[in-house]
Structure 1
């Protein structure tokens, strides 16, 4: 088995399941095997030093051109060989990347051929060695490299080169391939980051700013509705002075329509406010710049600023599914609980929990020979939860139904996880992972347990106050 296959074995996904002791034992065994391999290669001291120098210089010098120069300098220093490097730019075309001589008269592009292929090939006094990448990271490239080949390293003159020197150059080019692979990935990551930064600016210009104009439109609509109410009142006053029964009924119908329009306006405006807050919170520029969720804490009233708006967004949907939505008796919406948190992100945490409850709530016996579907929610201050003098605020959503099939209660908060007994329902397994991320960014903790009421999802945040 060659070095590349051995390295591939080490990175196999199944190795992720090893214990720490098993992992350490395996690595030690591979190190011992590497010692035996190098003893078998019988490389000279100068060749071994050349490998070390290549690694040091490839880490030390920045830029693709400098890297190519380092790659070609080793064969030149050891064997007096001139080099040309070709890199695969797509599945079919090798492009000239660099030459060791100042004046390069080689073809700028070459196709796959009998000498540009996945095998070491001799053509005249030239030796073509395929530059192989790390197959574990091929999915991070812009295309799947055929035969795991990233390019071709061409060296000359190789006429009469002993097999021992050829073996060294093969092993050397293998190492060049792995270094090149990582450099390509890093370059793509930099391009990706640059694109994200540009996209964030576009989001601000093309999404967030236009969305703000809806507020203006809503204000205009509100004034129109107020005018409709005034006109309706004036008409009703005239009608009540002595109109026919039929005209009175029409007047009352007009008042009912005006009231319905205002109710619809209030519902739509409420959704607009929530969606705008979620949009601006999720697309916050700092998330993209720092590569993680960035919390922006503010002093808020938990009941009125966080819980109530989210509950109102769901109330009608729960009614449509015949699910009772109940605030637990120990909580009161009139009690003011002020604390410091990121209102947008925590609102989305609660939104995720209620969305799951809407999806997974199941009917249970109501104690009166019938069935009911019920979701309860609430909050409670927990003294000293995070240590002496460090209280927490616990928020929960409980939905009726059978317990989830879990080995560990926290499994449900892992990315992509779906409990076996609910996997048949649509879902990505990302919602509760988002919940965990946001809560832990606040310094809090997430929980799941099955109670008499059903499946309870909860989180505890530090009770910080301004």
Structure 2
């Protein structure tokens, strides 16, 4: 025998002895084979739940239920049963059905732990320390022999192994989908905006050359200066003024550069958090912030020059909520990118409309207020409206515009990818809020509603007109 197969042969020999000791009946063996065959045919874990309970009903005539563990609070949830099939939404298990590492009886029900693969314990951490994924309930049973109990525990183990495999596959698919989304987010939120600052650095290099040339001319001027000469004193004054101008301009350029560096660093550090890759989705790091001062206005200032360069006026609100009302518990980096995308969208799509005097004007305006305070059961939230002048979109497009890659028919705007608003919607929903668009007479309102608290409770939808 080949040396590298020795371990495999030892395991097979042990398995042969185990199977002989089990003394499974023909029907029991058929049930195991049928379950394995069907588990291989069906790709999704929901079909696995259906198969697991259907096999028990078909071969043994018992009703059965699959209960799984909810990861966030380890609550036992009813997923599927022979009497109702797969539940649209899992419900909490009965109080007498609990998680336990060994089989037990409750009334006419026998309940067995569904145990996953130990080797995959770090791949899908959805279970307790002893690899329990859930519980298999079989009923009604008047009496169950030791042999039947052994068979159903082995059957529950096979269910657990297959559940674990499918959970790993689903998690891998989710990770791949998230990475694809993350690549799009990085391209849209970091790489594309950074092209603007590539031009900024090119211009900065040109300014430096101009300033160096200016310093050389100043050096020449100083070298011909004579102490006590009136014209020389005038030259010195000019030198000082030019030096002050150069110093002030360079200080402003360095300030702009530092602001961009901090802005870009925040976005990169947020998008590349290790937790995102471990979970296959964005993981929020919530802290308490003033939504206006800490997040919204810094992003507005970041875009102000570009808006001004395109002759887009910024209409400030006449009043805003108090600082205490503006306090919100959010992820700074991701929420900042939400507003960055909204301002980027305004920059690309803002169009002139006629004001009350008949003059064409491009402008944006914003409003922040409290929403969701109609009852004590509704969590308080902050709503932000950003109005962009231009052609109102249709109500249908107002819904579709948040879909990834969607662009309005006939939209040939340079740089528009159809991804920015999808990112906005995704992050706002992750915070427990909602986003939308409301067409108006002379433009469109893009709005978001974010819960003030740390828990992603549902906010009451409000027509933000």
Higher RCO, Cα 8 Å, sep 6+: 2
